[in-house]
Amino acid sequence: MSPEKYIKNYIGGALVPAKSGAYLDNITPATGEVYSYLPDSDGEDAEAAIAAAAKAAAEWSHAEPRTRFRLLMRIADIIEQNLEVFARAEATDSGKPVTMARTVDIPRSQSNFRFFATAALQFSSESHHMPGTAINYTLRQPVGVVGCISPWNLPLYLFTWKIAPALAMGNTVVAKPSELTPMTAFLLSKACMEAGLPAGVLNIVHGLGPKAGQAIVAHPVVKAISFTGGTETGRHIAATAAPMFKKLSLELGGKNPNIIFADCDFDEMMVQTLRSSFSNSGQICLCGSRILVERPIYERFRDELVKRTQFLKVGPPMAEGSDLGALVSEAHRDKVESYLQLAEVEGGKILCGGSRVELPGEHAGGYYLRPAVIEGLAAECRANQEEIFGPVVSIAPFDTEAEALQLANGTAYGLSATVWTQDISRAQRMAEALQAGIVWINCWMLRDLRTPFGGVKNSGMGREGGQEALRFFTEPKNICIKY
């Protein structure tokens, strides 16, 4: 298995170009060069994929759970056997360090398949007894043809996080990866073919969101949409899908607070805060971009964070020593830089980073940016309110628990929050009051795939993970038997 110069759609069990024959450039952020091409799919390609999924639905929806289990496990095994190929493809497409792709993205993609493969065997539904009168039981049937649309930051990881539960529950899928990072989705098509997944059960359509993605969302045969991406795109998808009463799961942006109390385990907090700030160059929806620090340790924290941030190595994705690779695209680097300029206009002081890294040779055209720490921003200014999604954090002191909460909850987003304290009562009070779908106490991104995953407010609706995903991808039917 290997990447190819011309990526193909995966429709009806075959690898095919877009019907129009058109391709889009696929650029590697490490050098800024076009290195492959992906199909510029449109409504016709989406239509063909949906028709293939609809055709495959009858058989797949009735397949024994153990058949689905075996096939999903086989796909996971094939990804595992090709770990290095997948990891290098992910790093080439996204600009992330290959070490991260190798230890996080690709292993987690395997886990997604294995976790939901076993879930297919374990899944059960509810019954409600009316003593002496009747028994109700809930039949959970597949929804039918479902659409899965994912972003570029954790390409295969988030793609499979949707596809695996959808397939496990007996749905057939039309999926679209981000046009910025299509290669591992293409490799996944090959893995599915090798595993013997029946034709049409999974279809992957490549191309632009407003063209290929929109055609999937707008199609009446597609009964549910699971989307991860930006809040504005989510709003648009909701507006398209809602009049057709499609099931919707929307995992959107964040502006997550990281709240640090003076009584925390300082060393552990520093290690994890550096991770939560700059992992994947801050391009993880769960990164803590607003760091709130209790005043007695504010200066110590600031100096330590700046020191450690300056120590991080920004370099080529394939270099084993790179802590941060390249940002995903030129447009995205421009966006992050524009927020750095805005932050200064808004009164912030950039304590370190924010400048481009000029690498020699073939990497001279890559999108490298030094991680930045900003202080002095007012809570309500745009740089502190809008999602930057890059290697940029803003730090600020607070004096009381109430103030920390007010600042933490003071944005339109509500994805995740992190609290650092040794006081368990305070941790619990904070966790209850934080407006977020996920709260981490004294840790960050510690994930159990059984837990509900998602956000409140502008961070989305619905939850992924565990039973939540299994329920989303099934339609409950209550059957009442009088006796």
Contact residues for ligand NAD, defined by CB under 6 A: 149-153, 158, 176, 178-179, 209-210, 213-214, 217, 228-230, 233, 236-237, 251-254, 285, 387, 389, 415, 455, 460
Q: Which is nearer to ligand NAD, 99 or 153 (CB)?
A: 153
Q: Which is nearer to ligand NAD, 210 or 476 (CB)?
A: 210
Q: Which residue is nearest to ligand NAD (CB)?
A: 209
Q: Which is nearer to ligand NAD, 109 or 214 (CB)?
A: 214
Nearest to 43 by CA among 188, 174, 172, 146: 174
Q: 311: which 2 tokens? A: 């120590």
Dist. CA 286–CA 139, nearest whole Å:
35
Q: 243: which 2 tokens? A: 């009049």
Minimal distance, residue 431 CB to ligand NAD, in Å: 19
Minimal distance, residue 263 CB to ligand NAD, in Å: 31
Q: Which is nearer to ligand NAD, 46 or 57 (CB)?
A: 46
Dist. CA 434–CA 416, nearest whole Å:
9
Dist. CA 188–CA 90, nearest whole Å:
12
Q: 399: which 2 tokens? A: 């004096």
Q: Which is nearer to ligand NAD, 209 or 366 (CB)?
A: 209
Question: Which residues, in sequence order, are CB contacts of 220 under 8 Å at separation 6+?
Answer: 244
Minimal distance, residue 320 CB to ligand NAD, in Å: 26
Q: Which is nearer to ligand NAD, 315 or 325 (CB)?
A: 325
Q: 296: which 2 tokens? A: 């007695």
Question: What is the Cα 402 distance to its own chain's centre?
Answer: 31
Q: Are 396 and 291 in contact (CB under 8 A)?
A: yes
What is the DSSP annotation of 186-225?
Answer: HHHHHHHHHHTPPTTSEEE--S-IIIIIHHHHH-TTEEEE
Quickly tell me which residue has 């689905």 as its tokens: 68
Q: Which is nearer to ligand NAD, 228 or 309 (CB)?
A: 228
Question: Which residues, in sequence order, are CB contacts of 354 under 8 Å at separation 6+?
Answer: 337, 340, 369, 370, 372, 392
Minimal distance, residue 159 CB to ligand NAD, in Å: 9
Minimal distance, residue 147 CB to ligand NAD, in Å: 8
Minimal distance, residue 12 CB to ligand NAD, in Å: 21
Minimal distance, residue 179 CB to ligand NAD, in Å: 5
450: Cα within 13 Å, side-chain hemisphere: 4
Dist. CA 431–CA 331, nearest whole Å:
36
What backbone torsions phi and psi does residue 76 show, to the nearest 5 degrees?
Answer: -60, -40
How, if at all, do strands 23-28 and 33-39 pair?
antiparallel
Question: What is the Cα 238 distance to its own chain's centre?
Answer: 18
Minimal distance, residue 44 CB to ligand NAD, in Å: 16
Give Cα separations from 472 to 61, 141, 183, 250 (angstroms). Answer: 15, 11, 28, 11
Q: Give me the sign of the Cα torsion angle 73, 151, 458, 211.
A: negative
Residue of 179, 251, 294, 468 marked catalytic: 251
Nearest to 177 by CA among 147, 141, 201, 200: 147
Q: Which is nearer to ligand NAD, 253 or 466 (CB)?
A: 253
Dist. CA 82–CA 104, nearest whole Å:
15
Question: Among this protein's residues, is 44 annotated catalytic?
Answer: no
* Catalytic residue numbers, as ranges: 251
